Structure 1
């Protein structure tokens, strides 16, 4: 199932799902199903993604059952079906409860540090590390990303996000998939010149990261990805392009620490909640910092950045 958050022209922020290149509003779909005697559930459906996730597994199961009901209908007969091309999509989770971004691809870490004349520290292999970023600065697909006035070295980062769909604490890696609502494409925008200076102080990146994170175009539930799953990893090709020129290519399967291990680390002694977002970190070759400015200059206003992950869609943003 592909879940979306979108801006309804009259009702504001809503949660829906994709069907035949249309967005179907979950709450309106439930009302339609009830009127036709196709749905016996009486509890009103959530109207936002956070409300849906807060119902934990029940919410996702109900959404999938409802989608199966509308799948047999003609799209033209559904007054609440909006063509995707006419819809303004938001980040699948417009305001996550929290945002942790990991550093889990060995190739990226090795290459990026080598450009600074550094080796990977041995501690990197002992446990996955993350930093907290601004969960109130999330943007959706097709959104404009303003280059902050304080940076000249604006960069993209090609990542995958996991959205937590179930409350959990001290989660075991082997059980972590039960806590994942789905995956989405993630762009962890970075001000590299600011980041380079602030990490010298001994803390993680902060001002170099807190101005924007984009996610989308939709949240894909794990059942749709079962065919490409190999144990605790997924075979998903990942690419990034700027102004139509491909710069980055990698594969989600090459992540050193699995998402199960990332979730276990994040939840150790801490409760994760529905709507928390966890980033994978940048795939190998997945940013200009790693590629070098001899391959491509830093991003400028007017640039179009597209991140694409197999089955997860294209996340396109515009630098202004």
Structure 2
């Protein structure tokens, strides 16, 4: 089943997509409420919506992000992506050994979620804007210390994710051995809908990976194409790791990390030795497509001015020594 959040006649509504139509869910719970209620309850609500027969054509509604996640963990599960971006960011070849030890992730900003066909603003001071083609699992059941086998029952469904990245900001801030922060937290697109996990079962291979083709294009020109099954870890493994020593809760998002073979521009920059294709520009339209999960598109718009910050107060060694003498 495909759950959506949409705007119709100035009212935000949750619904179920079937074919080219969307069916509103009675009582208008948020999609996060549906996820929290559990898969069986959500499917029952969806079946009830379909049986009511009331619907509207998809072309007459504006889709929003399917849900507002409490947290967003973004993993880096594709070896090819790691290799290419590392060369782009710091000029080093190969993949660091630490990548092979566990499915690494970072927390990104749940307040910067962007929906289908919404604009993505260039972050202040960025001259190297990039997209990242990913798939995200959405947690449907709370848990801590989950095993890989148990994790199957904790995943409600999947959606497409675009982890927008300001590569020049990211490169500078990570020199401090922190981040990425402002290089990442300005926008994360998800959508167009949340597809329940059962719909993807026919595409699961013998090792538990999802055999889905993923593509990305800019202004109608294909830039990257890869299989989701090229991940180094399954979503179940990432769920287990995310819950280690802590909790995952309904609505939490676990991003796959960027697919290889052109899943982002930085990977191609690393392989090409220069910024070709060019960084995204104002007016560019980025379209991500994944089998079964649909298509997620956004258009880049210009940055806004930002208030100036005062310069850093550098350490004054003479003042520091004088303070120490006074303390004695």
So what's the TM-score if we normalise by structure 1?
0.88
List per-residue Cα deviations over 1:70-120 (Å, max 9, x = no partner): 5xx5xxxx2xx1110111111111x21101100111110112213322431
List per-residue Cα deviations over 1:150-172 (Å, max 9, x = no partner): 10000000000111111111111
Aligned equivalents of 2:46, 2:23: Cα separation in 1: 12
Q: Quote the residue 1:36 is aligned against.
A: none
Please, which of 75, 97, 101 is the counterpart of residue 74 of structure 2? 101
The answer to whether structure 1 residue 237 and structure 2 residue 213 are counterparts is yes
Q: Quote the residue 1:307 is aligned against.
A: 288
Offset at residue 69 of structure 1 (A): 2.8
- Structure 1: gaps of 5 or more residues: 28-44
8 Å Cα contact 1:100-1:277 kept in structure 2: yes
Offset at residue 199 of structure 1 (A): 1.0
Q: Quote the residue 1:246 is aligned against.
A: 222
Please, which of 38, 58, 67 is the counterpart of residue 84 of structure 1? 58
The answer to whether structure 1 residue 139 and structure 2 residue 117 are counterparts is no
Q: Quote the residue 2:242 is aligned against.
A: 266
Q: Quote the residue 1:31 is aligned against.
A: none
So what's the TM-score if we normalise by structure 2?
0.86
Q: Quote the residue 2:86 is aligned against.
A: 113
Larger Rg: 2
8 Å Cα contact 1:46-1:52 kept in structure 2: no
SS in 1 for 2:250: coil
Closer, same or farther: CA 209–99 of 1 in aligned 2, 3 Å: same
8 Å Cα contact 1:4-1:92 kept in structure 2: yes
List per-residue Cα deviations over 1:179-217 (Å, max 9, x = no partner): 111111110000000000111111231110000000111
SS in 2 for 1:136: helix
Q: Quote the residue 1:2 is aligned against.
A: 2
Please, which of 241, 252, 261 is the counterpart of residue 276 of structure 1? 252
The answer to whether structure 1 residue 26 and structure 2 residue 25 are counterparts is yes
Q: Quote the residue 1:128 is aligned against.
A: 103
SS in 2 for 1:265: helix
8 Å Cα contact 2:16-2:46 kept in structure 1: no
The answer to whether structure 1 residue 63 and structure 2 residue 45 are counterparts is yes
Tell me how large the CA RMSD over aligned residues is: 1.5
8 Å Cα contact 2:16-2:50 kept in structure 1: no
Q: Quote the residue 2:168 is aligned against.
A: 193
- Structure 2: gaps of 5 or more residues: 302-328
